[in-house]
């Protein structure tokens, strides 16, 4: 339970970074959401063996993190948490795809190793882009941008409720776990049998807490619409941000920049 609370608190700290006043933070949320979507689509649409073509895409997270003053170590630590799951997806590729596609002197690299490395790089890029979006925009502003871009409001409201009350659930769970440990004299009552009653108490506590929150929202005139803390409009700077990065992603998608630069360097050296 402590580890879950720590992960949620880390996510809360990431969301608090969205209160910055850099140029990236002040951009309209819709521009940043659209750029992130184009980035993810360009990354995942590359072929499974096109490992070298993925590396130019690291330019986007590097530049945005530098401009937004986001802590690189904080973002990297969260990306590393996801990499074991990506490794589980591609770890068996070298066993099923043993065709040698690249030779580095006497060393032959099979397609399975290329596709496995490609999965890890794609996971790093896509998860990093999503974390950067939250760190520069904030989850509530992202939900509002999705609503303005045409997503059904019932889905955006549900996403925002899920985000807001995930913290409430973890706090209730943390208090319940601490109460369980304090009542377990001599470590008695800490076995698997106690988890049934623990989960039932947690369900009842969160149910009652949700009813109180719902009544409080109705008393304050909630009509199904959330009002953002910061209002922006889609201006020329936002359009240039969207068009510039989207055009660059399209170039990276259509042209293997890494291979082109390699050919230029090796040709110049020769």
**Three-state secondary structure call for residue 71:** coil
Distance, CA of 96 to CA of 98 (rounded, Å): 6
Distance, CA of 60 to CA of 81 (rounded, Å): 21
- Burial (CB count <10 Å: 0-12, 13-18, 19+), residue 54: buried
- The pTM for the full model equals 0.81
pLDDT tens digits, one per residue of 150-185: 888 888 888 888 877 777 777 777 777 777 777 666
What integer pLDDT is reported at residue 132 of this predicted model? 93
pLDDT tens digits, one per residue of 228-261: 666 667 889 999 999 999 999 999 999 888 888 8
């Amino acid at each position: 339970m402590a580890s879950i609370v720590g992960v949620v608190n880390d996510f809360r700290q990431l969301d608090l970074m969205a209160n910055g006043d850099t140029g990236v933070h002040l951009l309209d949320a819709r521009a940043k959401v659209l750029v992130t979507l184009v980035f993810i689509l360009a990354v995942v649409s590359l072929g499974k063996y096109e490992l070298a073509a993925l590396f130019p895409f690291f330019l986007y997270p590097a530049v945005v993190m530098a401009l937004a003053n986001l802590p690189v170590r904080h973002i990297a630590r969260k990306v590393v948490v996801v990499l074991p799951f990506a490794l589980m997806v591609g770890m068996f590729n070298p066993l099923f795809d043993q065709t040698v596609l690249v030779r580095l002197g006497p060393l032959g690299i099979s397609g399975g190793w290329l596709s496995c490395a490609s999965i890890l790089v794609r996971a790093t890029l896509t998860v990093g882009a999503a974390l950067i979006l939250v760190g520069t925009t904030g989850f509530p502003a992202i939900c509002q941008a999705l609503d303005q871009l045409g997503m059904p409001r019932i889905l955006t409201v549900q996403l925002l409720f899920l985000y807001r009350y995930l913290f409430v659930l973890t706090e209730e769970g943390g208090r319940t776990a601490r109460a369980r440990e304090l009542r377990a004299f001599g470590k008695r009552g800490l076995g698997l049998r106690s988890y049934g009653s623990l989960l039932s108490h947690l369900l009842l506590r969160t149910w009652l807490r949700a009813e109180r929150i719902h009544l409080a929202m109705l008393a304050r005139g909630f009509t199904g619409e959330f009002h953002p803390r910061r209002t922006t409009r889609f201006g020329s700077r936002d359009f240039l941000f969207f068009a510039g990065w989207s055009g660059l992603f399209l170039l990276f998608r259509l042209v293997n920049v890494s291979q082109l630069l390699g050919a230029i360097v090796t040709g110049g050296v020769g």
